[in-house]
Amino acid sequence: MEQRRIFEQVFTTESAIAAFVFLVVLCALAYSLIRRRARAGATPSPHAERQRLETVYVVVLVGIAAFLVVYTASANDREHPGGESHAAGRGVEAAHPVTVDVTAFQWCWKFSHPVPGPSRAGEATTTANCRDGRLPTLVVPTGRTVRLKITSQDVIHSLWVPALRYKMDAFPDHTNSFTLKIDKEGKWIGRCAEFCGNRHHSMDFWLKAVSPDEYEEWVQQHQGAAPTPEAST
């Protein structure tokens, strides 16, 4: 998956930089301690500061920080190709992604696939109570940009798909959104990553990616019907 590959690339790069900085500081500290012990009785340096050395140190730190900001922002831009701020330059498919409304509640999920247009009539909805293995399924098409609009109807929750590295908080009276694009069919477990009460541990769901034709067929079959507890049939 592209998003997972980008996440792992960013994590590896930033971890390597952090490890390098840590080793440099550790070596400098060890050198200073060993050198000081070897020169027992030496008087302190008369210099209150070393401007050239401190300037180099600051420039290096600013350079690393600037690189991390630009690199992370660029990766985020590649990871979420359907963002509203830049979708116009990415073609019709990116500018008009498949939209799914995600509502978290104590202690399960509801996924609504609204019909395009102002009326939003005939949406396909799946939900459940997350008890006894009855989990709702979020169905998405492969190869299409999908925008999830996430909110909560009670307390703070967090939508998390560990295998695909997707995570976004759900707040009451507020809507967060992010995009995803899955390039192969499959089914993955999702969880709530924010402690939300005594049944937080059972607040799971399924993310299922199907072909675009199968997705369109599923939406047509479920438009206007009562919310279904399981969409993976």
Task: State pLDDT tens for residues 99-135.
Answer: 999 999 999 999 999 765 554 556 889 999 999 889 9
Q: Which of 97, 75, 76 is nearest to 148 (CA)?
A: 97
Instruction: Choose between 189 and 35: higher pLDDT.
Output: 189
Alpha-carbon span 152 to 135, nearest angstrom: 17
Q: For residue range 175-202, list pLDDT tens digits in order.
A: 999 888 898 999 999 999 999 999 999 9
- Is residue 222 scored above 90 in pLDDT? no
Q: For residue range 56-90, list pLDDT tens digits in order.
A: 889 988 998 899 899 888 887 776 655 544 444 44
Task: Please tell me the pTM assigned to this model.
Answer: 0.69
- Is residue 92 scored above 70 in pLDDT? no
Alpha-carbon span 148 to 192, nearest angstrom: 15
Residue 88: the pLDDT is: 42
- Is residue 227 scored above 80 in pLDDT? no
